[in-house]
Structure 1
Amino acid sequence: MSDANVVIELVEGKAGRAAFVDTGRDFAAREPHWVPQLRSEQLELVNPEKNPFFGHAAHQLFLARRGGKPVGRISAHIDRLALELPREQGFGPGAGMFGYFDAEDETVAHALLKRAEEWLASQGMNRAIGPISMSIWEEPGLLVKGQDHDPMIMMGHHPAIYREWIESAGYSRTKTLLTYDLDVTSEFPPLIRRIVQSGQRNDRITLRPVDVSRWDEEVETILAILNDAWSNNWGFVPFTNAEIAYAGKKLKPIIHPDLNLIAELDGKPVAFMLTFPDMNDVLRKVDGKLFPFGWFHILRWLRKPRRMGMRVPLMGVLRELHNSRLASQLAFMMISQIRDVAVDKYETRRAEIGWILDDNQGMMAIADAIQSTINREYAIFEKSLIS
């Protein structure tokens, strides 16, 4: 199926990136549960001069037009660090990616995917994996379950029909990412409370809030644990030093120390848990705009967020403790302490945990044990480029 009226353009320069971002925003605004994001942040993510991801990645953006009107977009990109990973971890040699996928209809979708595949093949890639927009640490996966409620902070949101169009272009699912919904006002089961209480009596264990006065050091500590804890996970690509600095700068405004913990064993940091207030609450109110008064509402909200959801995007325990009772105990202790603070201080009623890989049995067991339930499902697809 093709349409001679669909033209795929290369996106170049500042004006091209602005058109690329605005096209995505126009598509997103059609969705009932879309939450407008800050346009300036979206522009920065696709700007090679500002996003350190491009320090180890090659890319090309494409815009589809029909009769001069934007009708879709896609990115094709190659993460050179991902190429160095073992094939069994998802990427590896020959693994190119696509992302930022939006399309007016199936014809446009197939034209965009074909163009991205051609670019990846021209760069020597033999597989296309996606959607991943654009780093694995940004917005991986296509939402295939959960379109009936608003996304939380840093979560993608896509029409259900995109799955059908991607699959009809010859892609098959290679990985599923899950998010879990938790009613934090409910007590944890008795067994979990006993595990937490046992850990609280263990003098070797200390839970401490992150120290924002030493923020750069704390970020390095957290990401060192993350790079170790997740190193065998599907799709894992280690953070570079530039990305660590960038992430620290971006995350600091939304960090409340009592919601972000580092666990120490005999004084050594061995685990962490990050929790972000759902900034989508305020972005919805200001329609994703800083001006003229959006900045004021956002700053006020950042200082004292109340009655909003919480998202746990990242948690990690050093590999040396994996498969031990201590690893799950530390996780339950951090979840319990942050839950108490979220309810008592921030008047939170619900939280989301994720993403969690569908083969991460340890984290899925923890999510089940605290009686959370799957509320969103993201799929990553793959296609061979070898004919």
Structure 2
Amino acid sequence: MSDAEIEIRPVTDKAGRKAFVDLGRAMAAREPHAVPQLRSEMLELIDPNKNPFFGHATVQLFIAYRDGRPVGRIAAHIDHLALELPPEQGMGPGTGMFGYFDAEDQDVATALLDRAAQWNRERGMTKLLGPISLSIWEEPGLLVRGQDHSPMIMMGHHPAHYKGWIEADGFAKAKALLTYELDVRPEFPPLIQRIVKSGERNPRITMRAPDLKNINREIEIILHILNDAWSKNWGFIPFTADEVAYAGKKLKQIIHPGINRICELDGEPVAFMLTFPDINGILKKIDGRLFPFGWFHLLRWLRKPMRAGMRVPLMGVVKELQNSRMASQLAFMMISDIREVAVAELGTERAEIGWILDDNHGMKAIADAINSKVNREYWIFEKALSVPLTHAPPTH
């Protein structure tokens, strides 16, 4: 730890965004189980001209320097849709956020967190939540359990000591997010098999794979169910029309019909399950870079991701059916069907389900019923902010 002064500089241009991403990649490389993500994708996510999140958010990126050397980074942001939500769902008026948090030592961590707090305080925010990078749908939470193995696709990985540094700055846990892992090779327990077979005999239920010829429509159906199904969940922020289109463009690249499902009841879509092959294995091989030859390895692997692990990042059943036997039956049917395809056609051995909110008892019960176990835990922290007597209003 150095006694040299820490300088926090705002990122203001394309060169700064590149430095921000490269610093994050360099710090992740120090962790034995971290996976280098695609640099181009990381740059796109923080580009206000490319990521539609910026259409409803105000964002400022910061880099910390010591003796002219970058030693940490953080994003401070306000999601204006989050300000409109009921406070009992974790956000609401006065909620600011921080994300993309990396620091070389505790002094740097404190300086960055204080700068993010100051930025939000100046804009009238009274509470700071994080890390959330940048959207709640991207990488929410700090890894506090599970540093001993690599994360799957679209999951963050952080050093264990970050938790203590954040807590030392006055933050406390607001919410825990859990990931469950399971060996998918064995059959599910007999009770689950009976529930699945009962659903398969129900003429009202239709379960199908997404139609790749009409993939834009299918993704709209999935995200429409998601917006309905998750609308009362802690931290829920609805997808905008622009974000639906953007997500559709991204999902097309990794959607495999055999391992994704849409359920219909009386001909109406009421549930879905998204499953992604774990791209992180190939990203390790190409070091998160598409050029000069990374794109070739990536595209070849995506055509048929043999022996890849699978992650279920999102599953949803419309609100009307939630807390009913039908909801759990549809979930078990989708999980069972996808498991059979993944094992038989792709040689899958391991899968993960998550994130699952720690108070989502329905999903936790489903995870327990198929003999999965918690293998990773993420925390979102919160801290009250004292607001100056005079402050600038939030800007769009």
TM-score (norm 2): 0.97
- Give per-residue Cα distances to partners, 1:278-298, cap 9 Å, x unaligned: 011111111111111111110
Residue number in structure 2 paired with 1:120:
120
Letter in 2 for 1:189: P
Q: Unmatched 5+ residue regions in structure 2?
A: 388-396
- Give per-residue Cα distances to partners, 1:281-316, cap 9 Å, x unaligned: 111111111111111110100111100100000000
CA deviation after TM superposition for structure 1 residue 258, in Å: 1.2
Distance 2:182 2:12 in 1: 43
The answer to whether residue 89 in structure 2 is matched with residue 89 in structure 1 is: yes
The answer to whether residue 134 in structure 2 is matched with residue 134 in structure 1 is: yes
Would you say how many aligned residue pairs link Structure 1 and Structure 2? 387
CA deviation after TM superposition for structure 1 residue 24, in Å: 0.4
The residue matched to 1:162 in structure 2 has which SS?
A: helix
The answer to whether residue 307 in structure 2 is matched with residue 314 in structure 1 is: no
* Aligned pairs (5 A) from 1:168-183: 168-183=168-183
Letter in 1 for 2:96: G
The answer to whether the Cα contact below 8 Å between 2:4 and 2:67 also exists between their aligned partners in 1 is no
CA deviation after TM superposition for structure 1 residue 11, in Å: 0.7
CA deviation after TM superposition for structure 1 residue 2, in Å: 10
Distance 1:37 1:61 in 2: 19
Letter in 2 for 1:356: I
Which stretch shifts more, 1-10 or 170-179?
A: 1-10
CA deviation after TM superposition for structure 1 residue 204, in Å: 0.7
Residue number in structure 1 paired with 2:18:
18
Letter in 2 for 1:252: K
Residue number in structure 2 paired with 1:336:
336
The answer to whether the Cα contact below 8 Å between 1:60 and 1:76 also exists between their aligned partners in 2 is yes
Residue number in structure 2 paired with 1:382:
382
Distance 1:135 1:39 in 2: 18
The residue matched to 1:253 in structure 2 has which SS?
A: coil
Residue number in structure 2 paired with 1:212:
212
Residue number in structure 2 paired with 1:323:
323
Letter in 1 for 2:278: D
Residue number in structure 1 paired with 2:34:
34
Distance 2:215 2:255 in 1: 10
CA RMSD, Structure 1 to Structure 2 (Å): 1.1
Letter in 1 for 2:369: A
- Give per-residue Cα distances to partners, 1:247-305, cap 9 Å, x unaligned: 00011011101111000011110000000000111111111111111111101001111
Distance 2:276 2:372 in 1: 18
Residue number in structure 2 paired with 1:153:
153
The residue matched to 2:253 in structure 1 has which SS?
A: helix
Distance 1:146 1:277 in 2: 20
Letter in 1 for 2:78: I
Letter in 1 for 2:75: S
* Aligned pairs (5 A) from 1:234-273: 234-273=234-273
The answer to whether the Cα contact below 8 Å between 1:180 and 1:376 also exists between their aligned partners in 2 is yes
The answer to whether residue 278 in structure 2 is matched with residue 278 in structure 1 is: yes
Letter in 1 for 2:153: I
Distance 2:285 2:3 in 1: 40
- Give per-residue Cα distances to partners, 1:28-69, cap 9 Å, x unaligned: 000000111110000000000000000000011100000001
The answer to whether residue 59 in structure 2 is matched with residue 66 in structure 1 is: no
The answer to whether the Cα contact below 8 Å between 2:63 and 2:70 also exists between their aligned partners in 1 is yes
Residue number in structure 2 paired with 1:166:
166
Distance 2:339 2:357 in 1: 23
Distance 1:274 1:120 in 2: 35
The answer to whether the Cα contact below 8 Å between 2:36 and 2:287 also exists between their aligned partners in 1 is yes
Distance 2:200 2:288 in 1: 42
- Give per-residue Cα distances to partners, 1:67-110, cap 9 Å, x unaligned: 00100000000000000000000000000000000000000000
Distance 2:93 2:287 in 1: 42
CA deviation after TM superposition for structure 1 residue 197, in Å: 0.6
TM-score (norm 1): 0.99
Distance 1:108 1:3 in 2: 11
Letter in 2 for 1:152: M
CA deviation after TM superposition for structure 1 residue 3, in Å: 5.3
Distance 2:321 2:86 in 1: 23
Letter in 2 for 1:113: L
CA deviation after TM superposition for structure 1 residue 4, in Å: 5.4
The answer to whether the Cα contact below 8 Å between 2:183 and 2:349 also exists between their aligned partners in 1 is yes
Distance 1:41 1:223 in 2: 21
The answer to whether residue 219 in structure 2 is matched with residue 201 in structure 1 is: no
Letter in 1 for 2:82: A
Which stretch shifts more, 357-366 or 285-294?
A: 285-294
Q: Unmatched 5+ residue regions in structure 1?
A: none
Letter in 2 for 1:351: A
Letter in 2 for 1:380: I
